[in-house]
Amino acid sequence: MLLETRDLGVRWGGIWGLHDFDLDVEEGEIHGFIGPNGSGKSTLFNLIIGRYKPTTGRVVFDGRDLAGLDPDQRARLGMAVKFQITNVFAGLTVMQNLLLGVIGPKPVTSLIFRGSKQKRAHYERAEQILETIGLQEKRDDVAGNLAHGEKGWLEIGMALAVEPKLLLLDEPAAGMGKEETARTVELIHRLKGSRTILVIEHDMEFVRAVAERITVLFKGGLLTQGTYDEVKMDERVIDAYLGRGRRDVTA
């Protein structure tokens, strides 16, 4: 098991943002998280990556208890995040953004002063990521001029550049049109098996298209888990996520 949470919870004053949360994610799995606003999805992500300190329970990643580790330390263990709001270096080209990801925390001057073999390896890795995210023709474009969807794909590429074991995607299709969303689904499919991926999304069709298992959260707790077909017909999901009387979560 690559990621586990046990009895995980966080409380602010008398309010629980998440409580009694158990999760098991296998290596190579694509796992989706859905739930109404305020259900605890983002809180769960923030607990996993170390932005929030848990009140109860623990997070275990790749066999290691992450208690006391901050986000930077967890990133170095193999976690990478693409947040809902895109965050690229707008004044740099697409290729330069990816090279920064490949280099990681090392000084940018390392591109200049390292040997030609090392620089070539950096560029080859960046070129591979360009192909994966489908932005080969945009390699020399300034990132700030990209379309919304393209910026999202670039940010996923920057996350991939650090070779993460676990990739967390917070609403990766937010604000995208139908064609961009379809291309994002294709991108995630290309990553299947090579990365363990957690995806928060409100769009059930998107989750259906990418996730092998789905966890439904409600009021800070675990409502149910299962495949898309199992989850969509669960009476608790219909009542909590859509409201009583709706029989199909895709409607």
Complete domains list, the chain, with CATH: 3-88+165-242 (3.40.50.300), 89-145 (no CATH)
User: One-letter amino acid identity for 218?
Assistant: F
Give the pLDDT score at 250: 42
Residue 248: the pLDDT is 46
In whole angstroms, give the CA distance from residue 49 to residue 81. 8
Res. 247 pLDDT band, cuts 50 70 90: very low
- In this predicted model, what pLDDT tens digit does every residue of 145-185 receive, in sequence order? 999 999 999 999 999 999 999 999 999 999 999 999 999 99
Instruction: Name the pLDDT band for 242 (thresholds 50, 70, 90).
Output: low
Please write the tens of the pLDDT for every residue from 19-33.
Answer: 999 999 999 999 999
Give the pLDDT of residue 241. 64
Q: How far apart are CA 164 and CA 155, in angstroms?
A: 14
- Write the Ramachandran bin of 163: left for phi over 0, alpha for psi from -120 to 50, otherwise beta: left
Report the 10 Å Cβ neighbour count for 92: 15
User: Does residue 228 carry a pLDDT above 80?
Assistant: yes
Predicted confidence at residue 251, as pLDDT, reads 32
H/E run at residue 82: strand 79-82
Better-scored residue on pLDDT, 118 or 120: 120
Band the pLDDT of 3: cuts 50, 70, 90: very high
Among the listed ranges 22-26, 55-59, 204-208, 209-213, which one has the minimum average pLDDT value? Answer: 204-208
Residue 130 has pLDDT above 70, yes or no: yes
pLDDT, tens digit, 9 for 90 and up, residues 209-227 = 999 999 999 999 999 999 9
Pick the closest to residue 80 from 178, 185, 161 (CA basis).
161
CA distance 156 to 15: 33
